[in-house]
Amino acid sequence: MMQKNLSCKNIKDAQKNMMSFAVVLVFVNLIFLALGALLYMYAGKTGIGAGVSGDDLFATIAMNPKTGLFIGVLFLIGLIAAAYSSADSALTALTTSFSHDIFNFSKKSPDEQVKLRKNVHVFVSLLLLVIIIVLKYTTTMSAIGQIMFFAGFTYGPLIAMFFFGILTKRTLNDKLVPVMCLIAVGFTIVLWYFSAGGPGAGGTVDNPTGVFGKYKIGFELIILNSLLTYASLFLISKKQVEVLNS
């Protein structure tokens, strides 16, 4: 998405691209949600994958003999294409970030750059594989559920800083921004941990209670994190002093 904006001729075209893409993305997500609902409806009608849900449902229907070989192959091709497309962009972004931000890629010789890029790419690939295996055996949440859950902690500060820069003209203390973001994330983790849906909830298994009573924090975690970060940024900011020309 960032590369699309950078390829625009000017800022106005980039703004048009962002707004049009946001509108199109809504309809694209609605289509995929509808397809997911149709999978559940198909499984319920045919009896395929009884009791199966989440990520396993797609594979169960694709590999079932009742689905047919042709449809099953199309399912698998679509899954592989989507997975490799996402993995490719993620690996590229992570490799670039590690190489430039941590290992000072631009300051090394051409031979060292090639060696470093390959080593970082292999390291990031293995790291992602380990994370996938760990999540596979430590959580029952679907892949998209895990993404939204972790995004609630990582994307909250980014959203808050984005809107703070757009909605206000206040000046920030740059050195304190990372600290306040970490504090907001830490506070969000504590609230989630002791909420009705967190590991630190009280009550019983069937009737948990937490800091918000019986309210269970879900994907709105990112909203809570963003609001806390925004408030913390406001605390370390001050009004911008305008210099008038004499």
DSSP assignments along 9-62, one per residue = SSHHHHHHHHHHHHHHHHHHHHHHHHHHHHHHHHHHHH-TTTT--THHHHHHHH
Per-residue pLDDT band at 89 (split at 50, 70, 90)? confident
Q: Which sign, positive or negative, has the C-alpha torsion 196, 202, 204, 207?
A: negative
* Domain extent listing, the chain: 1-51, 82-140, 141-240
Residue carrying the six token digits 């009742």: 66
Residues 76/65, Cβ–Cβ less than 8 Å:
no
Q: Answer whether residue 244 shows pLDDT above 50.
A: no
- The tens digit of pLDDT for each residue in 113-172 reads 888 888 888 888 888 888 878 877 877 777 778 888 888 888 889 999 989 988 888 888
pLDDT at 27 over 90: yes
Give percent of the chain with pLDDT exceeding 90: 15
Q: How far, in Å, CA of 111 to CA of 52, rounded?
A: 51
Residue found under tokens 């210099």: 243
CA distance 72 to 65: 9
Secondary structure (DSSP) of 204-238 = -SSSEEBTTBT----TTHHHHHHHHHHHHHHHTEE
pLDDT at 80 over 60: yes
What's the pLDDT band for 246 if we cut at 50, 70, 90?
very low
Q: Can you read off the two tokens belonging to residue 48?
A: 């395929």
pLDDT at 205: 67
Distance CA 12, CA 14 (A): 5
> What is the residue-averaged pLDDT of the chain?
83
Q: What is the DSSP letter of 132?
A: H
Average pLDDT over residues 41-66: 80
Identify the pLDDT of residue 66: 80
**DSSP-based three-state secondary structure for 101:** helix
